[in-house]
Amino acid sequence: MSTTTATTPSGTPAPEAVTPIGLVVLDMAGTTVVDDGVVEQAFARVADRVDLGPTLGRDEALQYVRDTMGRSKIEVFRHLTGGDEVLAQRANDEFEVAYGELVDESGVEPIEGAGDVIDALRASGVSVVLTTGFSPVTRDRLLDALGWTVDAALSPVDAGRGRPAPDLVLTALLRTRASSVAAVAVVGDTVSDVLSGRSAGAGLVVGVTTGAHTREQLLAAGADVVLDSVRDLVGLPAFAGVAAAGASTTAVA
């Protein structure tokens, strides 16, 4: 049996959604897909291949990448290049190449149980949308490798703005025709994921500690609850009607 510690700022039990959850918006790298520093490694390769300019030193740039995990990659490069759009676009293109190289070298590994959770949610009538800061090319490459079936997969270009803006969450709501933002749960491993869910007015915002940011950082950003893994999502009271295929999960305050 897998047991997760569901933490709230006050230490109280994880909140039950007043409105039944009809849509779950899941982040990819670090939440449903194992990262193991791959995103950071791809940025490092970009720094080796492209002169990002004098705005930040290499160590400062990598720290900024860590701090802004989950955000649109082109927005990150716009900051790193001091607003040089041509250079930012070149760096972003190189990032896509570097990330693809790393995927080829190491493969793609899902977070344990993530696929089962997606299948269980959809089998119970809950829509599932994957969101990411990657471009559609990289996003679809990952999705094809994983073989998952979801209701939609969105990148910033599909929505308008990347995280922490609410656009990805609200676009997911429109694409799936969810009843209201109160019926949406947002799940992610970064502060940007949490802020995006909060700014969209999602009924439930869940952090997971399998990725970039800590339990404390996710709670400080406004997560309703923080789990050890996305595989424990269906153990929350809001998902009482969802049975995880081949797994038993329990949420503990």
pLDDT band with cut points at 50, 70 and 90 for residue 244: very low
Contacts of 13 (CB under 8 A, 6+ apart): 6, 237, 251, 253
pTM for this structure? 0.78
- CB hemisphere CA count around 203 (13 angstroms): 20
Q: Are 222 and 88 in contact (CB under 8 A)?
A: no
Most confident stretch, 69-78, 88-97, 120-129, 240-249? 120-129
- What is the average pLDDT score of the chain? 85
Torsion of CA 146, 25, 101, 56, to 10 degrees: -170
Please give the CATH topology (third level) of the domain spanning 2-34+109-252: Rossmann fold (3.40.50)
Domain boundaries defined on the chain: 2-34+109-252, 38-106
Reduced to 3 states (helix: H, G, I; strand: E, B; else coil), residue 224 is coil
The per-residue pLDDT for 43 is: 87
User: What do you get for the CA distance between the two ends of the chain, in Å?
Assistant: 17
